[in-house]
A and B are shown apart, each in its own frame.
Chain A
Amino acid sequence: MQEQQLKKQSLEKQKSNVLLEVEGLKTYFYMDNDRVAKAVDDVSFSINKGETLALVGESGSGKSITSLSIMRLIPSPPGKIVEGSIKLEGKELVTLSDKEIRKVRGNDIGMIFQEPMTSLNPVFTIGNQISESLMKHKKMKKNEAYKKAVDLLKLVGFARAEQIVNEYPHQLSGGMRQRAMIAIAMSCDPKLLIADEPTTALDVTIQAQILDLMVEMKEKFESSILLITHDLGVVAEVADRVLVMYGGQIVEEASVYELFTKPKHPYTNGLLASIPNLEADVERLESIPGTVPPAHRFPKGCRFAPRCKHVMDKCYEANPDLLEIDSKHKVRCYLYEE
Chain B
Amino acid sequence: MHKYIIRRILQFIPMLFLITVLVFGLAKAAPGDPLTGEMLDPEIDPAVYEIRREALGLNDPIYVQYWNWLSSVSQGDFGKSMQYTGRSVMELIQARVWNTFYLSLFALGVTLAIAIPIGIYSANRKYSLFDYGATTFAFLGLATPNFFAGLLAIYVFALTLGWFPAQGTTTALGLSGFELFIDKLRHLVLPGLTLGLASTAAYMRYMRTEILEVKGSDFIRTAHAKGLSNESVLYKHTLRNALIPIITLLGLEFGTLLSGAIITERVFNYPGLGTLFLNAISNRDYPVIMAINLILAVSILVGNLLADIFYAIVDPRIRYD
Interface residues of A (CB under 8 A from B): 71, 73, 98, 102-107, 110-111, 113, 115, 118-124, 132-133, 136-137, 168, 170, 181, 184
Contact = CB atoms under 8 A, between A and B. Distances in A.
B57 to A, nearest CB: 56
Contacts of A123: 240-241, 244, 314-316
A122 B226 contact: no
A136 B237 CA distance: 15
B222 A136 contact: no
Given A71-B225, A73-B221, 19 more contacts: A98-B230, A104-B227, A105-B225, A105-B226, A105-B227, A113-B218, A113-B225, A121-B222, A121-B223, A121-B237, A122-B317, A123-B241, A123-B244, A123-B314, A124-B237, A132-B228, A133-B227, A170-B317, A181-B222
Interface string B205-229: 0000000000001110111111111
Contact of B225 (A73, A103, A121): A73
Given A73-B221, A113-B218, A137 B316 contact: no
Contacts of A115: 218
Nearest to A101: B227
B229 to A, nearest CB: 6
Contacts of A119: 218-219, 221-222
Contact of A136 (B225, B228, B240, B315): B228
Interface of B: 217-219, 221-230, 237, 240-241, 244, 314-317
A118 B227 contact: no
Contacts of A168: 316-317
Nearest to B225: A111
B296 to A, nearest CB: 33
Contacts of B241: 121-123
B244 A102 contact: no
Contact of B219 (A73, A110, A118): A118
A182 to B, nearest CB: 12
A119 B237 CA distance: 12
A132 B228 CA distance: 8
Contacts of A133: 226-227
B227 A102 contact: yes
**A113, A119, A133, A170, most chain B CB atoms within 10 A:** A119
24 contacts: A71-B225, A73-B225, A98-B230, A104-B227, A105-B225, A105-B226, A105-B227, A106-B225, A110-B225, A118-B217, A118-B219, A119-B218, A120-B222, A122-B317, A123-B240, A123-B241, A123-B315, A123-B316, A124-B240, A132-B228, A133-B226, A133-B227, A137-B227, A181-B222
B244 A107 contact: no
Interface centre among B217, B224, B227 (most CB of A within 10 A): B227
Contacts of A111: 222, 225
Contacts of A137: 227
A81 to B, nearest CB: 16
3 nearest A-B pairs in the assembled complex, by CB-CB distance = A106-B227, A105-B227, A106-B226
Contacts of A122: 219, 241, 315-317
Contacts of A104: 227
A41 B314 CA distance: 45
A105 B226 CA distance: 6
Nearest to A114: B218
Contacts of B225: 71, 73, 105-106, 110-111, 113
